[in-house]
Amino acid sequence: MSTSDHATRRTEPLPFPAGFRVGAATASYQIEGAAAEDGRGVSIWDTFSHTPGKVRGGDTGDVACDSYHRYRDDAALLAELGLASYRFSISWPRIRPDGRGTVNQKGLDHYKAVVEALLERSIEPVATLYHWDLPQVVEDEGGWAARSTAEAFAEYAGIVAEALGDVVGKWITMNEPQVSANHGYRTGEHAPGLRDEVKAAAANHHLLLAHGLALEVLRGVLPGGTPVGITLDLHPVRPGADGIEELVAMVDAEQNGCYLEPVLHGRYPTAARPHMVPGAPVVRDGDLERIHAPIDFLGVNYYSPLYVRYGAWNALVGGEAPRPGHPGVVSYAPPGFERTAMGWLVDPEGLYELLHRLADERPGLPLYVTENGCAAEDYLATDGQVHDPERVKYLHLHLDACARAAADGVPLHGYFVWSLLDNFEWAWGFQKRFGIVFVDFSDRRRVVKDSARFVAQVAATGAVPPFPEHWPR
C-alpha cells in the first residue's frame, strides 16, 4: 500500500507489536564535548575539525552539547519523553587514549555513570562501540586501511565489554562502515580526509573485520544471551531513467552490498566494480567467515533513497549531484518529493521496502531502525518553543512505514530517532539540526521540540496516530 493510499484509509492509530521499543540515538563526538578532559586521547575528528576548511564555520566537537557533563539532564529528558532505549556511542580515545596500551579508568567510569543514569530511569542502554572517533594515533599507524586497526578495535571492545557487559542492554559494534570507508578514505569529506581508492577498499574490509573480531571477543566476555549487532546505513537505489537496471545493480552493490553481503552472506557482491570491492591480499582466509558470524540483530540507518541515472552533472539543476567515483553518473532528485534541510528526499516507502527486503533476505533476523530523522531549519520561536512541523511530518511518515512493515510480519523490534539532540553534524558542523530536542549552542540549554512531543506520544501509546487531514505548515 502506498503512503497516500494508506493515509486516506487509516483513521485509527496503527499499533506496533507488543514489546516494540521507541528510543533516541546520539554519538560520542557529536554530543560529548570535554575533548581534553579526564585523559581522553585525540581522535581523527579532533584533528579534522581543527584543520581549517574541513568543517563548515570551523566548528569542532570540543564542547558540542556538553553531554559529557550533562548526561544526567539528557537521561532526564529521555525519561520525560517516555523513551524506552537510548543508543549512545563510546569514544575509543576516552578508553584507550593511544588506541592500544593504557586503559583510562576515568573513561570507563564515565560510561558506567551514563549507563547508571539511564538504568535508574528504566531506560535501556544500547552502546555503539565505534561511531567514527578513531584514536589519531591509530590513524597515524595506518587507520582503517591497516589490518592492525581491526585487531586493536577488538581489544578495545573487549575492555569495554568487561567493564559494562552486565549493565548495557544491547551492543552495536560499528556504525555505518560505508560512511567511514567512503567519506573518510575515498572522498575525503570526513576524517581522516583521505582520497585514496585502494585505502578505501581496504578500510571497507577492515571495518567489517573489526566487527567480526569484536563479535568473537564480545561473545566470550558478555553474559550469555546479550544481543550484539552491527548498524549499516542502507539506501534503496532507484532508477532515474528507464533501461538502466545494470547501473542500479552496480550502485546498489557498491553502496549497500559491499557491507550487507559480507555480514549477511559472507561474500562481497559481484555486481560492484572490481576496484570498489576488497580482495586479496587484504581479504585473508577466514575473514569472511568471521564477518558473517551470527549476529542477534541488524541495525538499519535509513534517511532517503538514491535515484541514479547516466548523464553529465549540471550544477544548475537542483537536486543533482555527481556520484563520487562514477564519472558520467549522477544522483538525481525526481520532482514531487519533499526534501529535508540536507537536500535529502523524503520517501518513507524507501524504508518500508528496505525493511521488507531485509526480512526476505535473512528471514527471522531481528531488525532495529537504529537511526532515522531529518535536519530542519529550527529556531526558538517568540513563545520560547521550537515548532518543527517538517520533522513531525517526516517522523510520522517513517514511523508509519515501520508500523506497517511490522504489521506485515517484518521482525522489526524498535526504532531510534536520530537524534535526541541537535549536535555536531560532521562536516556540516552545528549548522544542520537533527535533534528532537533543540540545543541553544550559546549556553547548551535544551528545549523540547514539537517533534519530541510527537515521538513521546508514539512511545506512550505504542501506536502511530492517523495522519492529520492537512499537514501543519
How far is residue 302 from each of residues 43, 112, 217, 305, 402, measured CA to CA in Å? 26, 29, 28, 8, 11
Q: What are phi and psi of 17, to 5 degrees?
A: -65, 155
Q: Give me the least distance between CB of 330 and ligand IFM, in Å please.
A: 21
Question: Cβ closer to ligand IFM: 104 or 372?
Answer: 372
Burial (CB count within 10 angstroms: exposed 0-12, middle 13-18, buried 19+), residue 73: middle
Classified as helix, coil or strand, 23 is: strand
Instruction: Give the Cα separation of 225 and 60 in Å (integer).
Output: 39
Question: Cβ closer to ligand IFM: 20 or 434?
Answer: 434
- Residue 352: CB partners within 8 Å, gap ≥ 6? 401, 402, 404, 405
How far is residue 402 from each of residues 43, 126, 302, 348, 367, measured CA to CA in Å? 35, 20, 11, 9, 11
Question: Cβ closer to ligand IFM: 434 or 441?
Answer: 434
Question: Cβ closer to ligand IFM: 183 or 404?
Answer: 183
Q: Which residues bind ligand IFM (CB under 6 A)?
A: 27, 30, 176, 301, 371, 418, 425, 434
- Is 141 an annotated catalytic residue? no
Catalytic member of 124, 254, 371, 425:
371
- Residue 182: CB partners within 8 Å, gap ≥ 6? 200, 204, 324
Question: Cβ closer to ligand IFM: 277 or 439?
Answer: 439
Catalytic member of 32, 124, 176, 425:
176
Q: Look up residue 269 and give its DSSP letter.
A: -
Position of cell 566548528? 59
Q: Give me the least distance between CB of 196 and ligand IFM, in Å please.
A: 22
Q: What are phi and psi of 277, to 5 degrees?
A: -105, 125
Instruction: Give the Cα separation of 302 and 447 in Å (integer).
Output: 25
Cell numbers at residue 121, please?
A: 530511569
Number of residues that this document lists for the chain: 473
Torsion over CA: 154, 130, 261, 359 (sign): positive
Cell numbers at residue 172, please?
A: 552495536
Cell numbers at residue 145, please?
A: 586501511
Question: Cβ closer to ligand IFM: 179 or 397?
Answer: 179
- Is 338 an annotated catalytic residue? no
List, by residue number, the catalytic residues.
176, 371
